[in-house]
Structure 1
Amino acid sequence: MKKFALLLLMCSGGFLLADGGWIYLKAVLAQQLLEHSWQQTLETTQPTRPWPWADTRVVARLTVPAQGIAHIVLAGDSGRTLAFGPGHTPGSAMPGEAGSVVISGHRDTHFRFLEQLQQGNEIDLQTARGHYRYRVRDVRILNIHRHKLASDPDSKLLYLVTCFPFDSVVSGGPLRYVVSAELIEV
């Protein structure tokens, strides 16, 4: 009976580890497929789907040279999209357009690096239409029940948004970690 209980505990533990690691594995594997799709987007100048059944498309590449970060950005910011990579918020501007660009990502995968960004760090955002460089202006923590990101049509800001706190056991919640960066070079 003790051997059976030990085997059951080991199997349960293995299942829980595999289940918990799945989101990280999916995030890493998806970035490989997304990178291929990004190359196709650059060649054709048309946003492409990373796999035939995808309900999103590749729209940009986000890099932070100082940290060695490079992520493919997808269209949309639903939980299903963010499981594969950062997502461009519908209704926000695309780089090169008037208004604020908003990109969201999960705090425990693709946007974990936001915690290390500092004022003055540079962020590159490339689309099929151009390359845009931003400089981090500030970092704020907002409660989504009390504050909204202001979208000024004359703005040239990039907002990178993720849930906060970074080490929270519970996902979601009302707090958001917001990095704002201003356009410095096209």
Structure 2
Amino acid sequence: MRALLQGKTGRAAAAALLIVCGLALTAQGAWIPAKAILAQVLLERAFAETLASGHPQKPWPWADTVPVARLTLGGESYIALAGSSGQALAFGPGHVEGTPQAGEPGTAVYAAHRDTQFAVLRSLMPGDPVTVTRSDGTTVTFRVTGRRVARWDASGLDPQAPGRHLALSTCWPLDAVTQGPLRLIVEAERMEQP
């Protein structure tokens, strides 16, 4: 009888341990998307303050970046941060260092994670509009011209290309669970102002 009770107790403990591990893995998997959603609320507030004051506002006191633009694409709107470091991309799209502001001569590049904000790139097609509102209040509209896949270190994007272009980049394939060297790049050209 004692062996039977010990066996049941051991199985119950093992089942409890498996349940706790499953809950921990579920929480870990939900953390990044939840953080991205909450961050966008704080970033919207900081971006509104930036537009109103004309001075960059941090979204939270310990932030090492500031909101620089609002991207509106595929029916969604996201606040983009200065820089494309892992710390910035954990909270939203990042304006890639060394590229011009959207609407200025050259190619402005924004990057984000494929499983948060830039999951929307899946549905962008040639002809679709992308609107960028910069922190100086300037709003620029682009029209998607194409999409392609390239290695991260061979994107062919030129920040000083003639014209006024926009590139949105995220990891490829969109449904992968691990990082890889490929990026989906959605390219757009500035629409002429009337």
Aligned to 1:54: 63
Q: 2:157 aligns with which of 144, 149, 155?
A: 149
Mapping of residues 1-186 of structure 1, within 5 Å: 1-64=10-73, 67-129=74-136, 130-171=138-179, 173-186=180-193
**Displacement after TM superposition at 1:79 (Å):** 1.0
1:50–1:58 contact (8 Å) kept in structure 2 = yes
Q: Secondary structure at the match of 2:117?
A: coil
Shift of 1:36: 0.4
Structure 2 residue ranges without an equivalent (≥5):
1-9
In the alignment, the residues of structure 1 paired with residue 44 and residue 155 of structure 2 have an alpha-carbon distance, to the nearest angstrom, of 34
Residue 155 (structure 1) shift: 2.4
After TM superposition, give the deviation of residue 55 of structure 1 in Å: 0.3
Displacement after TM superposition at 1:153 (Å): 4.5
Q: By how many angstroms is 1:151 displaced?
A: 2.7
Contact 1:132 1:185 in 2 (8 A): no
Letter in 2 for 1:154: P
Q: Give the letter for the 1:94 counterpart.
A: Q
Aligned-residue offset at 1:95: 2.0
Q: Output the aligned Cα RMSD.
A: 1.2
1:117-149, Cα deviation, whole Å (9 max, x unpaired)? 000000000013300000000001011344431
TM-score normalized by the length of structure 2: 0.90
Tell me the amino acid that sits aligned with residue 183 of structure 1. Answer: R
Which one is further off, 143-152 or 75-84? 143-152
Q: Which moved more, 1:176-185 or 1:141-150?
A: 141-150
Q: What is the total number of aligned residue pairs between the two structures?
A: 183
Q: Check the 8 A contact 1:102/1:161 in 2, yes or no.
A: yes
Moved over 2 A (4+): 144-148, 150-155
| Counterpart AA for 1:133 | T
State the one-letter code of the partner of 2:108.
V
In structure 1, distance between residues paired with 2:40 and 2:159: 29
Measure the CA separation in 1 of the matches of 2:105 and 2:155.
Answer: 22
Q: What is the letter of the counterpart of residue 178 of structure 2?
A: V
Using structure 1 for the length normalisation, give the TM-score: 0.94
Q: After TM superposition, give the deviation of residue 183 of structure 1 in Å.
A: 0.3
Say which one has the larger Rg.
2
- Give the Cα separation in 2 of the matches to 1:156 and 1:142: 21
The letter of the residue matching 1:21 is A
Deviates more, 1:71-80 or 1:140-149: 140-149
Distance in 1 between the 2:111 and 2:33 partners?
17
**What is the distance in 1 between the residues matched to 2:40 and 2:16?**
36
